[in-house]
Amino acid sequence: MTSMHAQANALELELEWLDTAVSSAMKLYFGQESDIEHIRQLPPPALPADSPYTRAVADWELSDEERLVLILALAPHVRPQVLDPFLIRNANLEQPFSEFGGHTGAQHRGFWPTAETAAFVLAGDNLQDRVAVHGLFAADARLRRHGILAWDEARPADGAAAIRAQLGLPLQISRECLSLLTTGERFQPSYGGDFPAQRIGTRLNWSDLVLPAHVRDDVEEIRAWIEHRHTLMHDWGLGRQVKPGFRSLFYGPPGTGKTLTATLLGKSTGLDVYRVDLSLVVSKYIGETEKNLSRIFDHAERQDWILFFDEADALFGKRGSGSGANERYANQEVAYLLQRVEDFPGVVILASNLKGNIDEAFARRFQSMIHFPLPDAAERLRLWQGAFAPPCQVGPGCDFAALAGQYELSGGSIVNVLRYAALTAVRRGEPHIDIDDIRQGIRRELRKDGRVGI
C-alpha cells in the first residue's frame, strides 16, 4: 500500500467513525433507539500503520476523545457533509439547536464545528462529562501543546466570558497539521514579511564537507545530539537537569562553511533548516520584532526545524547600557530573544564573523562555540578538487595542488572562482576551463579582500 493510499484509507476510517459518533450522539440526545449508551462505547478504528496520519496520532499520543476532536476539526476540510446533521433546526424555536454549537457563514456553506460541538458529541447533555471535555481545550492540553488546534488568542479578560469565547471558537486545524494530515507533507510557510525565515538546502552531502578534524568533531557533537536527544532526555532522565535543545555559535571568516555545515546537519538528520532573515525580523514598530520572532519559533518548535541565524550580530550583538527609549526597546527585544532561544527544544545555530561581537548573555548559554578557520593547504586542495570535479572539464596545466599551496582562499571563494571561470569559458565558446580563467577568478577574489593579485 502506497503512503498516499494508506493516508486516504486512514482518513476514510476516521470519517466513518466520526459519522457513526455524530449519528449516535443525536440518537442519545433525542432519546431515540441506539445500540450504545455512551460515545465511549464506540472505539476508534485500527489505522494502517504506514500512513502519515497514523504516525501523527501515535506521536501526539492522543486519547480516543482527543482523536475524535481531531477528525471533527478536520472534517470541514475533507468531508464537510459528514457534519450536515448539525444543520437541522429546532422546530419549536425555528432556530438552529444552540446545544450543537458550530458556525455557518458565507465563506463556508456547511457546518463548522466548535468546541461546543465536540462537547455535544462526546458528552451530550451530561454536565459532568461536558466539563471534562472542556479540559481537552486547555492551553496545556495535547491538542494545543502540539499546535494541532490554531485558535485566536484574543479573548475577553473576564474569566467566564473568556471560557465562553473559547468554547465558541471554530475548531481550526493549524496549517502545519492540516498539510501533514491530508497530503502527508510538511507545511512550508512562504518566505516574506509575514514570515521572515527561509528554508535552505544543498545538493552536497556530509562527505563533501571539508573541515579541520577538531572542528568536524565539534559539529559531530551537534549531530549526535539531534540523533540521540530523545534517548538522553527521556530514557536517561537528563530532562530533569538539562534544558531541552542545543545552541551553538559558528564563527569565523566568510566562506569557511558555516552555512553549509548548518544545512548539512539538517540534511543528514532529516530536519528542515530555516535561515532567519534578521533584516525582516527587526521592526521599527514596538512589539513587532517579538511577534516576528514568536511566529518563527512557534513554527520551528511544532515542525522540529533547525533555526539558523546568519550574521547574528544584528540582533544577538552586545547590548547598550544607555537609558534612551530606543535602547530600552532594543534591549527588551534581545531579552525576549534570549528567552525564546533558551526555551527552544530544537537546535539553534548562530553564525558570526567574530566571536567577540556576540552578547555575553547569549554566549553563556551556548552548548558549543565552534571556530571555522580558513582552510589549510591540504583542505584547500580537497576544496579545489571537489569544486572542479567531473562533469566539469578543465584544460591542461590546471595544477590544483600548486594553487592550493599558493593562495589562501576559503571554500566560498573557490566556488566563486569556479563560477567565474566556467562562465568565462562558456562565453568564449569552449567546452573546458583553462588555467588562465581560474587565475583571473583568483585575482578577483583577492581584490575583494584588498589583497595583491597575481
CA dihedral 183, 185, 186, 187 (to 10 degrees): -50
**pLDDT score for 105:** 64
For 3, other C-beta atoms within 10 Å of its C-beta total: 12
What DSSP string runs through 260-297? HHHHHHHHHHT--EEEE-HHHH--SSTTHHHHHHHHHH
User: Which residues make Cβ contacts (< 8 Å) with residue 51, sequence separation at least 6?
Assistant: 3, 6, 7, 9, 10, 184
Would you state the pLDDT for residue 154? 43
Q: Cα–Cα distances in Å, from 44 out to 15, 71, 133?
A: 10, 11, 17
How far is residue 73's CA from residue 95's CA, in Å, rounded to a whole number?
23
C-alpha 295/C-alpha 299 separation (Å) is 6
Among 118, 83, 8, 113, CA closest to 53: 8
| Sequence-separated contacts (24+) of 106-111 with Cβ below 8 Å | 108/76, 108/80, 110/76, 110/80, 110/81, 110/83, 110/84, 111/76, 111/80, 111/83, 111/84, 111/86, 111/87
Three-class SS string for 183-194? CCCCCCCCCECC
Give bridge partners of residue 306 from the DSSP assignment: 273, 347
How far, in Å, are 15, 24, 27, 129, 346 from residue 121 at the CA level?
14, 8, 11, 11, 37
* Angle between helix 411-428 and 377-387 (nearest 10): 40
Domains within the chain, CATH numbers bracketed: 3-182 (no CATH), 205-371 (3.40.50.300), 377-448 (1.10.8.60)
Report pLDDT for 283. 64
Q: What is the reported pLDDT for 336? A: 79
Kind plus residue range of the DSSP H or E element containing 247: strand 246-251
pLDDT in 10s for each residue of the chain, 454 residues:
567 888 999 999 999 999 999 999 999 999 999 888 888 899 999 999 889 999 999 989 999 999 999 999 999 999 999 999 999 988 887 788 888 988 876 666 789 999 999 999 999 888 888 888 888 988 888 998 888 888 654 444 444 444 455 677 789 888 888 888 888 887 777 777 678 889 999 999 999 999 999 999 999 999 999 999 989 988 898 888 888 899 999 999 999 999 999 999 999 999 999 999 877 777 655 567 778 888 889 889 888 999 999 887 766 665 555 455 555 555 666 777 788 888 899 999 999 888 777 777 777 788 999 999 999 999 999 999 999 998 989 988 889 999 999 999 999 999 999 999 999 999 988 889 999 999 999 999 999 877 765 5
Backbone φ and ψ of 359, nearest 5°: -60, 135
Partner residues linked to 309 by β-bridges: 276, 350
Q: pTM for this structure? A: 0.74
* The pLDDT value given to residue 161: 46
Which amino acid would we find at residue 228? H
Query: Mean pLDDT of all residues in the chain?
Result: 86
Res 320: pLDDT: 53
Q: Which are the contacts of 322, defined by CB distance < 8 A and separation ≥ 6? A: none
Locate 58 and state its grid cell.
501515535
Distance (Å, rounded) from C-alpha 8 to C-alpha 240? 40
